[in-house]
């Protein structure tokens, strides 16, 4: 492994503001990286699932956030970082895993000669599969990634019930009326579970806010909310608005952590939705 460069050089390189696109993912390494640092919640979790023992040396602080991470217990075994270029560089990584929104730190690390693999936020289950394969290849753990994909595909096949004509209408309902659009991971999971999307009927491709009145008029069969935590913000008051009690919708909770990232645990959200769809079908079949 290369020797650390002097701190003076690091300080000099950290001064300028950097711009430009993140570097492209390198090809699978001839020798697996020995010291991997992840600075993104989604790459954190994929790396914890796929890395060889001792290969992953740090994950982002978000990996320990129970509101966002599905692997809080596993993350406790790793030192955390806050995604700052100087902090990550001094860990002497021979590979950094990052998100596409980590632009300035990634550009700085690239300037310092650190290999970086970036992942875009997944917007579908297909992109989740691709992310698993990408991280597996980057870590030199392609066989482990393929084994994980085989398990993923088998479970997905058991749970999938693609939406057809007459599919029950579902809406996700978050703080400030935030609702998942068709071109989002949550939207794709809902459709895979056999639901039609309220947001799609409203013409929303991406996710965005929906007025409470619009939700009430849409009269969905299912309303999906996230799990509330102590010390909730005023933005979350929309989750318990009295108007929601007058809807006929079946309410369910899916933790944000289950589908915040393209990881195998996203199928836990699909399983919850599959149970809800079956319950709705059973209710509709009653005389």
Query: What residues contact residue 233 under an 8 Å CB cut-off, 6+ apart?
Result: 175
Q: How far apart are CA 196 and CA 217, in angstroms?
A: 16
Of 59, 64, 69, 103, the closest CA to residue 260 belongs to 69
CB 193 within 8 A of CB 221: no
DSSP code at position 71: -
Closest CA to 267 of 129, 72, 145, 101: 129
Q: In angstroms, rounded to a whole number, what is the distance separating the alpha carbons of residues 38 and 95?
A: 9
**What pLDDT does residue 17 have?**
35
6's tokens? 């002097």
Task: State the Cα–Cα distance between residues 118 and 120, nearest whole angstrom.
Answer: 7
* Domain definitions of the chain by residue range: 31-155, 160-285
DSSP code, position 32: -
pLDDT of residue 164: 80
31-155 and 160-285: identical CATH topology: yes
pLDDT reported for residue 240? 65
How far is the first Cα of the chain from the last one, in angstroms, to the nearest whole number?
71
**So what's the pLDDT on residue 241?**
64
What pLDDT, on a 0 to 100 scale, did the predictor assign at position 4?
43
| pLDDT value of residue 287 | 75
CATH 3.40.50.300 fits 160-285, yes or no: no
Half-sphere exposure of 138 (CA within 13 A, CB side): 28
Q: To which H or E segment does residue 8 belong?
A: helix 7-14
Per-residue pLDDT of the chain (287 residues; tens, 9 = 90+): 444 443 443 444 443 333 333 334 445 667 999 999 999 999 999 999 999 999 999 999 999 999 999 999 999 999 999 999 999 999 999 999 999 998 899 999 999 999 999 999 999 999 999 999 999 999 999 999 999 999 999 999 999 998 788 899 999 998 888 899 999 999 999 999 999 999 999 988 888 899 999 999 999 999 999 876 555 555 555 666 677 777 878 899 999 999 999 999 999 999 999 999 999 999 887 77
* Assigned CATH for 31-155: 3.40.50.1980
**What's the pTM value of the predicted model, to 2 decimals?**
0.85
Widest Cα–Cα separation across the chain: 77
d(CA 190, CA 277): 10
């Amino acid at each position: 492994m290369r020797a650390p460069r002097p701190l003076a050089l690091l300080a000099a390189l950290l001064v300028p503001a950097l711009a430009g696109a993140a570097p492209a993912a390198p090809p699978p390494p001839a020798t697996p990286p020995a010291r991997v640092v992840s600075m993104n919640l989604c790459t954190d979790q994929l790396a914890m699932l796929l890395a060889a023992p001792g290969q992953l040396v740090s994950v982002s602080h978000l990996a320990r956030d129970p509101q966002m991470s599905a692997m809080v217990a596993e993350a406790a075994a790793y030192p955390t970082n806050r995604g700052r270029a100087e902090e990550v560089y001094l860990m002497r990584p021979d590979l950094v895993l990052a998100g596409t929104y980590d632009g300035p730190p990634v550009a700085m690390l690239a300037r310092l000669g650190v290999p970086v693999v970036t992942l875009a936020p997944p917007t579908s289950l297909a992109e989740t599969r691709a992310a698993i394969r990408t991280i597996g290849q980057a870590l030199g753990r392609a066989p482990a990634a393929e084994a994980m994909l085989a398990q993923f595909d088998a479970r997905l096949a058991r749970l999938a019930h693609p939406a057809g004509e007459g599919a029950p209408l579902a809406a996700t309902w978050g703080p400030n009326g935030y609702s998942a659009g068709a071109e989002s991971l949550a939207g794709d999971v809902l459709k895979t579970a056999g639901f039609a999307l309220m947001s799609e009927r409203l013409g929303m491709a991406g996710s965005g806010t929906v007025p409470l009145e619009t939700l009430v008029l849409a009269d969905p069969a299912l309303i999906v909310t996230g799990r509330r935590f102590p010390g909730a913000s005023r933005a979350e008051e929309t989750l318990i608005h009295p108007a929601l009690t007058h809807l006929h919708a079946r309410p369910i909770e899916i933790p944000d952590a289950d589908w915040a990232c393209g990881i195998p645990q996203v199928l836990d959200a699909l399983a919850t939705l599959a149970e809800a769809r079956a319950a709705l079908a059973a209710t509709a079949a009653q005389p």
